[in-house]
Amino acid sequence: MLEVEAIHTYYGDSHVLHGVSLRVGAGEAVALLGRNGAGKTTLIRSIMGFTPSRDGRIALEGEPIHSWPAHRIARRGVALVPQGRRIFAPLTVRENLLLGARPSGRADDWSIERVFDLFPRLRERASQAGARSRAASSRCSRSAGRCSPTAACCFSTSRRRDSRR
């Protein structure tokens, strides 16, 4: 479904991804692991079109997407859940959720009611500004004595080649 073939990504002159390849099949959940600074975020940014690769190929269901702008890749169905609490602080909880809504036409389609059923606290906070929810979430995780919750899109590293290692 998602194919990354030998991509090379740079920040200016800094060559960060050296021929990274991986595949994610339909219905497959894949995790990408690596030490700090290894290039996990850069790979996700390349797939999403935020930091396009300069060489190699990225294809979704056989269609090359590596030269597309990020908004077109998102419309094609690729989603990025950013690490940390990077929400739109001035928008309400409901508005933040609606930003991620993309009807697929399937019977089990996304709906805000389904999200509220899964996460009932969000229904209670639907009209609250995102900034307040973020602060509450932060207090909550600190008081629980653990790291902030992280949700990130992860892909496989099984075929990854990174010559910097």
- Interaction site with ligand ATP (CB under 6 A): 11, 14, 16, 34, 36-42
Token code pair at residue 103: 């009807």
Measured from each CB, the residue nearest to Mg ion is: 41
Q: Which of residues 43-102 bind Mg ion (CB under 5 A)?
A: none
Nearer to ligand ATP, 25 or 37 (CB): 37
Cα 82 from Cα 95, distance rounded (Å): 17
> What is the DSSP secondary structure assignment for residue 68, as one 8-state letter?
S
Nearer to ligand ATP, 47 or 122 (CB): 47
Name which of Mg ion, ligand ATP, none residue 36 binds, using a CB cut-off of 5 to 8 Å depending on partner kind.
ligand ATP
Which residue, among 158, 147, 163, 162, has the nearest Cα to 32 in the 3D structure? 158
> What is the DSSP secondary structure assignment for residue 51, as one 8-state letter?
S
Name which of Mg ion, ligand ATP, none residue 104 binds, using a CB cut-off of 5 to 8 Å depending on partner kind.
none
In total, the chain counts a number of residues equal to 165
Cα 158 from Cα 32, distance rounded (Å): 8
Query: Does residue number 154 form part of the binding site for Mg ion (CB under 5 A)?
Result: no
Query: Does residue number 141 form part of the binding site for Mg ion (CB under 5 A)?
Result: no
Q: Which residues contact Mg ion (rule: CB under 5 A)?
A: 40-41
